Chains A and B, each alone.
Chain A
Amino acid sequence: MTDFIYELKQVHKKFVKGQESVEIFDGLDLGIKRGDFVSIMGPSGSGKTTLLNMLGGVDRPSSGALLFDGNPINDLNEGQLAKWRADHIGFIFQFYNLMPMLTAEKNVELPLLLKKLSPKKRKENVATALELVGLGERAKHRPNELSGGQQQRVAIARAIVSDPDVLLCDEPTGDLDRSTATDILENLQLLNKEFNKTIIMVTHDPVAAAYANTSLHLDKGVFVEKDVAA
C-alpha cells in the first residue's frame, strides 16, 4: 500500500468558456502523504481553490489521474463521488457556510444525515465534535448568535463529525483576526496530531502556513516545494 493518500499524475485543468479557454494546470504531479498537514500558498488566481476542488471531488481534472488511496476518483460518477465525499472528505470554507436556520448542533449533525447511525450515536458524535472545537456550551445557538471564530469552529466540527480521512480548508482563517485565527489553527493542528487527519489548507497568511508540516507554494500552476520550520 502506498503511503500517499493523494497522488496526482499529469493533471491538466482547463476552463473553457465559449471561445476562451484558461489552462490552470498543465501536467501537475503531486503526492500528499497520509497524516500530513499541508499548507498551500500562492498568488490569487494561481489555482489553489481549483486544486482543492479537484482533491475534494467537486471538480474534475480535464485529464490526468487523481488517485485517492491508490484508487482513481476521476472514474466515479456524480452519485458515487457524492458518496465518496461524504465518506472521506471534510470541507472547511473561508465564509463558514453554515445553515442560518439551524442551531450549531444541527449544523454539525448535517453530514450524519448521510450515514446510518442510531439517534444516540448521532448525538454522541455531534457532542464529541463540538466538544473538540470547544463549543460544547454553544450547541443550541444559531450562527447569527455566534462570532466569526465560533462559526468557523462549528464548521470544523461539521467537517469532522463523520470522521473523514481528509480535511480540505480554503482560507479557513481568511476572515478572522489574529487571535481567533490562532485558535482555529491550533484546532486544526490538534486534529492532525491527535486524530491523524490529513489536512490540506489553502492560505494567504504565512503565519497560518507555519502550522503545517509541509508548505507548498503554487505559482502559475506549478509547485515550488520548500520546507518551513514549524
Chain B
Amino acid sequence: MNDFYLIRKNLTRNKLRMSLNLFAIFIAFFLFGALGSIKNAFDAGVDLAAADRLVVVNSISFTQTLPVAYANKIKSIEGVRKVTWANWFGGYYQDPKQMAMTFIVDPESYLDVYSELQLTDNEKNRWFNNRQGVVVGEQLAKNYGWEKGDRIPISSNIFSLHEGGHTWDVVIDGIFKGETEGVDTSYMLMHHKYFFETQAYPGEWLGWLTVTTADPELNETISRAIDQQFANSSAETETTTEAAFNKAFIEQVGDIGQIITLVVLAAFFSILMIVGNSMMLSVRERVKEIAVLKTLGFPSARVFIMVLAESLLLACVGGLLGSVFAEVMIGGLTQVPAITRIFPNLVITAETWMTAVFLMLLLGCLTGFFPALRALKLKTIDALSKG
C-alpha cells in the first residue's frame, strides 16, 4: 500500500458519484477535442499562411482575371523574390457532386513558392515534362482511391475544350503530401500549358498571383508598390498577405471559431462547478477520517496533497478518456470522403492535446484546491470530538 492506493480508494469509494463526475469531465474533454479539431480545420488556412507570401488579385473581385504579363512585371519589383500564378478550374470527377478542386498552375514556380507541398524529385520531373500530367493532394487521392499513374477524367464546371465537352483527360504524375499534418492536400494541380492549348476561350490569363518577399517586414511596402504599378490600368490589383486572403475567405463561413470557444468554455465552467462541489462534499463527509490520518501522524501537507491528487486523478482520467475518444472519432471521420471534402484538415493537433492536458491539470487543481485546503486546516480535536 502507498499514498496512491489510498487516493484511488478514496476516489472510487462512491462509485455513482465518481461515474457522474467522470462522465461530465469526459463530455467536456470530448467536446474540446472534437470541436477543437473543427476549429483547427477552419483556422488551418490562416495559421499555415506563410508570413512572406502575398496574394495579388484583381481589385474588382478575385474571380476577375489578370493579364499574363503581370507575372514578369511583378518579378522586377524590388524586394520580390519569387512569383507564381494560378487559375480556377472548378473541377469535379465524373459527377458534378463529386468535387475535385483543381488549380491551373505553372508547375516549377508553383512548387517553388508552395514548398510545403512535398513530391519526390522523380515525380516533379515527370510532371514538369508531361503537360497532360497532374499532381494530386494525398487527401483528394484517398477520397477517390486514385493512385500514381492513373488516367482520370476531370471536368470543369467553368471551362470547355475547343473540341467540345468539359472533360480533360489527365495522368497522375505524383501525389503530394503536406510538410506538416495541417497542410491542406484536398486539391490537385494541372499544367497551365495543357489547359491553355486545349480550352475554348481565346488567349491566356491569370486568376491570381502569389509572391514571396525577401522579408515579411517589406510586405506592406511591396504590396503598395505592386498595386501602384497597375493603378489606372485596365486591370488594377489588390495585394494582401496570404493570411489576410485566407481569413477573408474563411470569414464567409462565419466565426465558427468563436462559437466553438464559447461552447467549450461553458462546458468547462459547468464541470468546474459540478466537480468542485462534489469534491467539497466528499471531503466534508470524510473529516473524521482525515482527522484520524493526522492523529496517526500524517503531516498536514501530505494530507493536502492526497486530497488534491484525488481531484487531479479524476480530472486526468475523465479528460484522457474524453480526449482519446475524440481522437478515435475524428480519426474515423477522416475516413469518410464526404466529411473530408468539407473539412480537409480535420486533426486534433499536438497543440490541442497539450491544451487539453493543461486543462486537465487546471481542472484538477481548481476542483481539488479548496477541499484540500479544508483538509489541511482541519483541527483534529474538533473533528474527532463530534461523536
Chain A residues with a Cβ under 8 A of chain B: 49, 53, 56, 58-59, 78-79, 82-87, 89, 91, 93, 95, 97, 99-102, 106, 109-111, 113-114, 158
Contacts and interface: CB of A to CB of B under 8 A. Distances in A.
B97 interface: no
B13 A85 contact: no
A114 B296 contact: yes
B143 interface: no
A110 B1 CA distance: 8
A104 to B, nearest CB: 13
Interface stretch (B38-46, B99-107, B176-184, B377-385): B377-385
A59 B2 contact: no
Contacts of A114: 296-298
A12 B378 CA distance: 24
Given A53-B381, A106-B1, A101 B10 contact: yes
Given A91-B296, A114-B296, A114-B298, A101 B9 contact: yes
Contacts of A95: 387
| Closest A-B pairs by Cβ, 9 of them | A86-B297, A85-B297, A101-B13, A101-B9, A97-B292, A82-B297, A58-B380, A111-B296, A82-B299
Nearest to B2: A113
Interface of B: 1-3, 5-6, 9-10, 12-13, 288-289, 292-300, 380-381, 384-385, 387
Given A100-B13, A101-B9, 17 more contacts: A58-B294, A78-B300, A82-B297, A82-B298, A83-B297, A85-B295, A85-B296, A86-B296, A97-B288, A97-B292, A99-B6, A101-B12, A101-B13, A110-B296, A111-B296, A113-B1, A158-B296
Most chain B C-beta atoms within 10 Å of own C-beta, residue among A58, A59, A84, A101: A101
A171 to B, nearest CB: 12
A79 B298 CA distance: 9
Contacts of B380: 58
Contacts of B5: 106
Contacts of A87: 297
Nearest to A81: B297
A225 B300 CA distance: 38
B300 to A, nearest CB: 7
A49 B387 contact: no
